Amino acid sequence: MPDPIVLCDNLVKIYKVADLEVVALQGLDLEVNPGEVISIVGASGSGKSTLLNILSGLDTPSAGSCIVDSNDLTRLTQAQRIVYRRQIVGQIWQQSGRNLLPELHAQANVELPQMLSGVGSTQRSKRAKELLELVGLGDKLHKKPSQLSGGEQQRTAIAVALANEPKVLLADEPTGELDSVTAGEIFALFRTLNQQLGLTIITVTHDATIAAAADRTIAIRDGRTSTETVRRETMLEKVEAHMPTSSAVIGLSSRTHRESILIDRAGRLQLPKEAIEKLPFKGRAEVRIIDDHVELWPILES
Ligand SMILES: Nc1ncnc2c1ncn2[C@@H]1O[C@H](COP(=O)(O)OP(=O)(O)OP(=O)(O)O)[C@@H](O)[C@H]1O
């Protein structure tokens, strides 16, 4: 297995609002390998955006560790954080207004992050044109965001996010404002970029179709990783090789679609809601360790 490009261990994020503390992440573990396409799902308020904001370097963890491409996000200085945000990660948001400057045309939008990184004008113009070609907008270089459709704006946003050749693309609901056909096209573009550039992609989504198109879907519940669904043969083989120590199989619907729950480094696990609803007991359970697996049993009254 390659070294993970993202490794979060027992990640905690607490927001302080006046006298209140909001625990947005409470001991989240996450491991992403280079070149994976990951979707993150979960109910509103479960901590998805908080996780993405930490991975993007916008926010800092309150406790735990989070390492992205050898950058320890708990220890970056302000100057290192700026370089990290410019060069290691690219980010796109649901609202195109947050991705693009309205007064600049598409090419200028893609040139801007390169300019901030000190890339010379000839090189940045060449790269901007290449990127816009790659995302299918080679004929819209001089259109301003208001002259582009929603899907074209998100394509431009992807080109902007890739301007400084990041290792990881982070997308928060990138298709949330698009119709389902356009959303599918954007995800197909993610897949092309993943294959052509070897880009690692982590996207938060509420769209089940988009989530299911990723190699792996990670569900977050109450600020912790709860279940993951792995698709694709090659990914499954890697996960299976890793499985005895990292996860327990709870369901197998087909060879290329396996759902597992995650056991964190402290040994905690979250059972999926459906499993809890089906359990004939609540609160306490007996744990039986049997050769290569663990069983949960009701505690019988003697
Ligand atoms: N800047 C902040 N200040 C205070 N609380 C915050 C802040 N950002 C997030 N939270 C709280 O942290 C928790 C997790 O929020 P987060 O936005 O990460 O959830 P989410 O899963 O992305 O939700 P949604 O799907 O609705 O976007 C919520 O209770 C939210 O209110």
Mean pLDDT score of the chain, rounded to an integer? Answer: 86
In a domain? residue 99: no
- Number of structural domains the chain divides into: 1
Distance 247 CA to ligand 1 centre (A): 27
In a domain? residue 277: yes
Distance 33 CA to ligand 1 centre (A): 26
48 lines ligand 1 (CB under 6 A): yes
Distance 49 CA to ligand 1 centre (A): 7
Q: What is the DSSP string of 47-108?
A: SHHHHHHHHTTSS--SEEEEEETTEETTT--HHHHHHHHHHTEEEE-SSHHHHS-TTS-HHH
223 lines ligand 1 (CB under 6 A): no
Rounded CA-CA distance 204/218 in Å is 10
44 lines ligand 1 (CB under 6 A): yes
Of 8-22, 111-125, 148-162, 246-260, the poorest mean pLDDT is in 246-260
Segment 128-146 shows an average pLDDT of 96
* pLDDT tens profile 67-102: 999 999 999 999 999 999 999 999 999 887 788 999
Distance 145 CA to ligand 1 centre (A): 28
17 lines ligand 1 (CB under 6 A): yes
In a domain? residue 118: no
**Cα-based torsion angle of the residue sequence 102, 192, 49, 103 in order, rounded to the nearest 10 degrees:** 0
* pLDDT tens profile 176-230: 888 999 999 999 999 999 999 999 999 999 988 888 889 999 999 888 887 888 8
Q: What's the complex ipTM?
A: 0.96
Structural domain containing residue 223: 32-61+75-88+166-297
Backbone Cα Rg of the chain: 21
pTM of the model: 0.83
Q: What is the DSSP string of 116-176?
A: HTT--HHHHHHHHHHHHHHTT-TT-TT--GGGS-HHHHHHHHHHHHTTT--SEEEEESTTT
In a domain? residue 253: yes
Q: What is the CATH number of the domain that holds 251?
A: 3.40.50.300
